[in-house]
Amino acid sequence: MASQQKQANMLWGGRFTGGLDPLMVAYNESIYFDQVLHKQDILGSIAFARANFNAGILTKDEFDKIETGLQAVEAEWVAGTFKIVPGVDEDIHTANERRLGELIGKDVAGKLHTGRSRNEQVATDMRMWLRDELRAIEAHLVSFLKVTAQRAATEVDLLMPGYTHLQRAQPIRWSHWMMSYGLAFASDLERLREVIKRVNRSPLGCGALAGNPFGIDRAAMAQELGFDSLLWNSMGGVADRDFVAETLQWGAMLMQHISRWAEDLIVYSTAEFGFVRLADAYSTGSSLMPQKKNPDSLELLRGKSGRAFGHMAGFMMTLKGLPSTYNKDLQESVEPMLDHIKTVADSIQIAEGVLATLATQPLKMRAALDPFMLATDLADYLVRKGVPFRETHHISGECVALSEKTGTPMNELTFEQLQSVDARFDKDISEVFNYDKSVEMRSAKGGTSKASVLEQIAVLQAMLE
């Protein structure tokens, strides 16, 4: 009997005469995670009540009572005094309407839901919450990129090895490495701004699936709630969770970039490389080995990328087989969205903290440069004398082989030894073995010369506006 009484208090309870399995009640509930949407649910309900008043469904007195009552409910959430009734408050929408009825009476509170479905209500709440959270993430990402640009400009003269296949390849600027990720994160920023536009579309007024029968002004509600536009099909409006899927896809892409960025810094912070040293605030020690300083912040960033990928893949599998309009499976969109947003927001802020406090080791970076990394410069030297690159590549390879065979660093091979490989080498060949000159030669847009890197920084800063 108690179960049946609770069921009667639910928004959908009138149709049912049998009690629910208690496990099914708990299985169905979302209040313990979707309560985070309380503010959005209250604002959406006020906007909907105002639209019903303007459409003649509510009197002025009824609207005023509903608005005042809803504001009182929100005040309880803010103060932490709202009491959830287990088994009755199955979600944030039910909880707010139940409490509204207690405050202003069920006769008036019962009119709030006229013409409205939870299908549109939950979609509206989620879109409003996600829009605001993504704007906060946008601010975090802009801040991280500003640190990246500032640090790249300050440390533009630091040289280090550039790697392919984790093998030393060519000399580059440390700032060039930073900008390789900075511009990837800037592309993430551009994508995020596009995602926010698609999130910020209003489904309110779509009803359960067929639309609203009372002629309410959807555009006015959208404007009140800060939406940019409407979802134009009521069936699609209540079923659409592409905005969640796209957010998860975006976040997975960002976290992939963060993971690779973190992996590089983990490698660079090892004793074998020693290019950077993490601040104590972003490191931990070993419970056994006192000398250890572990890059836990970076390892957690790398690890949490897998968590973010899981959110995306799991939810895409939930969506793929659903028939049109609303299905209860869509409740599974909320928890991954909430956890994904927290994971991504926290990760960006941790990444910024790591970069802002990182100590570079310029001498270690330069000491890791190897004359073999100038082999391409040796080939380019002959190209400038008119020799085809395919031939110069082979000649440079012979110089590398000679260096290895004689145990002589390539920059210490004598002029006579180099001429024995190819007579077109002149005395000025010695000028090739200069790391600073090598990076400055890469002066085309996007290269590692100082001017090119500074230009990249300017491009990035323009993207932040």
Which residues form the catalytic set?
A: 165, 286
**CA dist list (Å): 311 to 29, 192, 240, 258, 390:** 20, 17, 17, 16, 48
Which pairs with CB-CB distance under 8 Å and at least 24 residues apart come from 423-429?
Answer: 424/382, 424/385, 424/387, 425/381, 425/382, 429/378, 429/381
Q: Is 284 left (phi over 0), alpha (psi -120 to 50) or beta?
A: beta
Is residue 343 within 8 A of residue 307, CB to CB? The reply is: yes
Q: How many residues are listed for the chain in this entry? A: 465
Q: Do the Cβ atoms of 171 and 161 come closer than 8 Å?
A: yes
How far apart are the C-alpha atoms of 21 and 32, rounded to whole Å? 19
Element (H or E) spanning 160, and its range? strand 159-164
Q: Which residues of 2-29 are buried (b: 16+ CB within 10 A; e: fewer)?
A: eeeebbeebeeeeeeeeebeeeebeeeb
Joined together, the tokens standing for residue 349 give: 């802020």
Q: Is the dihedral of CA 331, 333, 336, 337 positive or negative?
A: negative
Q: How far apart are CA 37 and CA 164, in angstroms?
A: 47
Q: Which two tokens stand for residue 33?
A: 């995670």
Let me know: does 42 contact 66? Beta carbons within 8 Å: no
Note the Cα 317 to chain centre separation in Å.
21
